[in-house]
C-alpha cells in the first residue's frame, strides 16, 4: 500500500499556498456557516465579503471545506459559489471529517473540522461567527459541541463573537476552563453573546490589541501549552440586537425545536433558521456583520503573529 498521508487528501488553493510558502499572514474561514448557517444567496455574499475584508487587511483568506472528498484549503470564487448552492452538504466535525474524505463526500466544516484542517495546512488563525458549545438543557441531552474539545487540543486561534446565544454561555465557559482553553474577550470585560455585545458573564481574560493576542498565543506555544484559544469579539454596536429582545426569540425557537423533536447535528441550523424567521431577517444581518468584524480582527492577529 502506498503511504496515505494527510497531504494526499488536501488541495491548497494557489494563492494560499504562495502566502504560506512566503510566510505571509493567512486567515482560515469555516464553511458550515455557508452550507448550514445561512440561506442562499446571503451565504454566498457573506463568504465573498469576508474574504474581501481579509484581503483588504493584507492577509490571504482560506475558506476551508470538503469537496468530493478533497479537503480544500482555500476555494476559488467558482468553488465557493458552488458550495453555497450545494444541497445536502454534510456538516463535518472531527467525527466525520475522515468519513467525508474516504467516501468522497462534500461538506461544510464546523469550527472543529476547520481547526483540524487549518493546523494540517499550517494556518494558526481562523475567523468564524460563533463557536458551538454547551446547549441549554445539556444536562439531559448531553449536547456539547465537539468545538470545545477541539479548542482544547488544536493550536489555532479562533476569533468568534463568543458562543452563540442559543447556547448555555455559562456552562460553555465552565467546560472551556476545565479543558484549559483560554477565553480572551477583545476590548471587553464581559463575554459577548453573539448577536449582542454583552452578557451577564465576566470575560475570563481580556486583551485590547491584536498584537497582545498574538503575543499571548506565542507565549503559550513557547511554554509547550497545547491547544488553541478562543477570542470573543463583540459585534459592532450599530449591528447588535439587544440581549433582552434576542432572549424572547431564542426561547421561542427552542420551544419549536423541542416540539418538533429536533436533535443532534440539526439543532444549531434549526435554531438559527427559526430565529431568522422570528426576527424578520434581522438576526441574519447581525450574523453577517459579526463574521465580517471577526474576519477583520483575525487578519490583524495573523499579521501580528
- List interacting residues with ligand PSU (CB under 6 A): 30, 32-33, 36-37, 110-111, 128-132, 145, 147, 265, 268, 272, 287
Q: Which listed residue (72, 164, 265, 274) is catalytic?
A: 164
In sequence order, the 6+-apart residues with CB closer than 8 A to the CB of 46 are: 33, 34, 38, 288, 291, 292
For CA atoms 253, 267, 39, 243, the dihedral sign is positive
> Of ligand PSU, Mn ion, none, which one sits near residue 96, judging by CB under 5 to 8 A according to partner kind?
none
Window contacting Mn ion (CB under 5 A); options: 52-60, 139-147, 173-181, 239-247: 139-147
Interacting span for Mn ion (CB under 5 A) from 26-34, 141-149, 168-176, 282-290:
141-149
Out of 51, 57, 143, 147, the residue judged to bind Mn ion by CB under 5 A: 143
Q: Which class for 154: exposed (0-12), middle (13-18), buried (19 or more C-beta within 10 A)? A: buried
Q: Where are the beta strands (DSSP E) in the chain?
A: 10-12, 26-29, 60-67, 70-73, 90-92, 107-109, 125-127, 157-160, 183-186, 205-207, 229-232
Q: Could you tell me how many residues make up the chain?
A: 305
The Cα–Cα gap between 170 and 173 comes to 5
Q: Is 30 a catalytic residue?
A: yes
Of these residues, 30, 51, 150, 240, which one is catalytic? 30
C-alpha cell at 221: 506555544
Q: Which residues are annotated as a binding site for Mn(2+)?
A: 143
Whether the upstream peptide bond of residue 41 has omega within 30° of 0, thus cis, is yes
**Please, which residue, 19 or 194, has the CB nearer to ligand PSU?**
194
Our CB check for ligand PSU shows the closer of 21 and 258 to be 258
Of 17 and 40, nearer to ligand PSU (C-beta) is: 40
Annotated binding site: 91, 111, 143, 145-147
234 binds, among ligand PSU, Mn ion, none (CB under 5 to 8 A by kind): none
Residue 192, all three cell numbers: 459577548
Q: Indicate the annotated binding residues for substrate.
A: 91, 111, 145-147
Shortest Å distance, C-beta 192 to ligand PSU:
13
Residue number with CB closer to ligand PSU (178 or 263) = 263
What gap in Å lies between CA 119 and CA 146, rounded to an integer? 16
The rounded distance, in Å, linking the Cα atoms of 97 and 95 is 6
We find the least distance from the C-beta atom of residue 34 to ligand PSU, in angstroms, to be 9
The answer to whether residue 164 is catalytic is yes
Residue nearest to ligand PSU as judged by C-beta position = 129
Nearer to Mn ion, 110 or 233 (CB): 110
**Shortest approach of ligand PSU to residue 237 CB, angstroms?**
19
Taking each helix axis as running N to C, give the angle between helix 94-102 and helix 111-121, from 0 to 180 degrees, rounded to the nearest 10. 70
Cβ(38)–Cβ(284) below 8 Å: yes
Q: Which residues bind to Mn ion, rule: CB under 5 A?
A: 143
Catalytic residues: 30, 164
Amino acid at each position: 500500500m502506498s503511504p496515505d498521508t494527510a497531504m494526499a487528501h488536501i488541495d491548497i488553493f494557489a494563492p494560499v499556498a504562495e502566502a504560506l510558502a512566503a510566510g505571509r499572514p493567512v486567515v482560515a474561514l469555516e464553511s458550515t456557516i455557508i452550507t448550514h448557517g445561512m440561506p442562499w444567496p446571503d451565504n454566498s455574499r457573506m463568504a465573498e465579503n469576508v474574504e474581501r475584508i481579509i484581503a483588504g487587511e493584507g492577509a490571504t483568506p482560506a475558506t476551508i471545506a470538503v469537496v468530493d472528498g478533497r479537503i480544500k484549503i482555500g476555494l476559488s470564487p467558482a468553488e465557493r459559489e458552488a458550495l453555497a448552492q450545494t444541497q445536502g452538504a454534510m456538516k463535518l466535525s472531527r467525527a466525520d471529517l475522515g468519513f467525508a474524505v474516504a467516501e468522497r463526500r462534500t461538506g461544510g466544516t464546523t469550527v472543529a473540522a476547520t481547526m483540524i484542517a487549518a493546523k494540517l495546512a499550517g494556518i494558526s488563525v481562523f475567523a468564524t461567527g460563533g463557536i458551538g458549545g454547551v446547549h441549554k438543557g445539556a444536562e439531559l441531552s448531553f449536547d456539547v459541541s465537539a468545538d470545545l474539545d477541539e479548542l482544547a487540543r488544536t493550536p489555532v486561534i479562533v476569533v468568534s463573537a463568543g458562543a452563540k446565544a442559543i447556547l448555555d454561555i455559562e456552562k460553555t465557559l465552565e467546560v472551556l476552563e476545565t479543558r484549559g482553553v483560554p477565553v480572551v474577550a477583545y476590548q471587553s470585560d464581559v463575554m459577548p453573546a453573539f448577536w449582542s455585545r454583552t452578557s451577564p458573564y465576566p470575560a475570563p481574560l481580556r486583551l485590547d490589541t491584536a498584537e497582545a493576542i498574538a503575543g499571548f498565543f506565542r507565549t503559550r506555544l513557547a511554554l509547550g501549552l497545547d491547544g488553541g484559544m478562543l477570542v470573543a469579539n463583540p459585534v459592532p454596536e450599530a449591528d447588535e440586537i439587544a440581549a433582552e429582545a434576542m432572549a424572547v426569540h431564542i426561547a421561542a425557537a427552542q420551544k419549536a425545536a423541542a416540539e418538533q423533536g429536533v436533535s443532534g447535528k440539526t439543532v444549531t441550523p434549526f435554531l438559527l433558521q427559526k430565529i431568522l424567521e422570528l426576527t424578520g431577517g434581522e438576526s441574519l444581518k447581525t450574523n453577517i456583520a459579526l463574521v465580517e468584524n471577526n474576519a477583520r480582527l483575525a487578519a490583524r492577529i495573523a499579521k501580528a503573529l
